[in-house]
Copies of this chain bind each other. A is one copy, B any other.
Amino acid sequence: MRVIVPATEGRAVRVGAGRRVRVTDLEGGQVGDVFALAADDADDADEHLSASHTRAATSRLFPVAGETFVTSRRRPILTLVEDSSPGCHDMLVAACDPERYRALGVPVHASCADNLRASLAVLGLSVPVVPQPVNVFMRIPVAGDGRLSWLSSISRPGDAITFEAEMDCVLVVSACPQDLVGINGHHPTALAIDLETEEMSDR
List chain A positions with a Cβ less than 8 A from chain B: 46, 50-53, 55-56, 59-62, 72-75, 92-94, 97, 99-100, 103, 128-130, 132, 142, 144, 146-150
Given contacts A61-B146, A148-B59, contact A130 B72 (CB under 8 A): yes
Among B50, B103, B129, contact of A72 (Cβ-Cβ < 8 Å) = B129
A contacts with B: majority SS? loop
When chains A and B are docked, how far (Å) is the Cα of A55 from the Cα of B147? 9
Check B146–A62 contact: CB distance below 8 A. yes
In the assembled complex, how far is the CB of residue A108 from the closest CB belonging to chain B, in whole angstroms? 16
Q: Are B94 and A53 in contact (CB under 8 A)?
A: yes
- Taking CB atoms, residues of chain B closer than 8 Å to A46 are 128-129
Q: A99 is contacted by which of B59, B74, B92, B132 (Cβ under 8 Å)?
A: B74
Report the bound CA distance from A196 to B62 in whole Å.
Answer: 39
Chain B residues, CB < 8 A from A129:
46, 72, 128-129
* A171 to B: closest C-beta gap in Å: 19
Residues from chain B with Cβ under 8 Å of A51 in the complex: 52, 132
Chain B residues in 8 Å Cβ range of A73? 99
Closest-CB distance, A28 to chain B (whole angstroms):
23
Chain B residue at smallest Cβ distance from A61:
B146
16 residue pairs from A and B, CB less than 8 Å apart: A46-B129, A51-B52, A52-B93, A52-B94, A55-B93, A55-B148, A60-B147, A60-B148, A61-B142, A62-B146, A72-B129, A73-B99, A74-B100, A75-B99, A129-B129, A144-B144
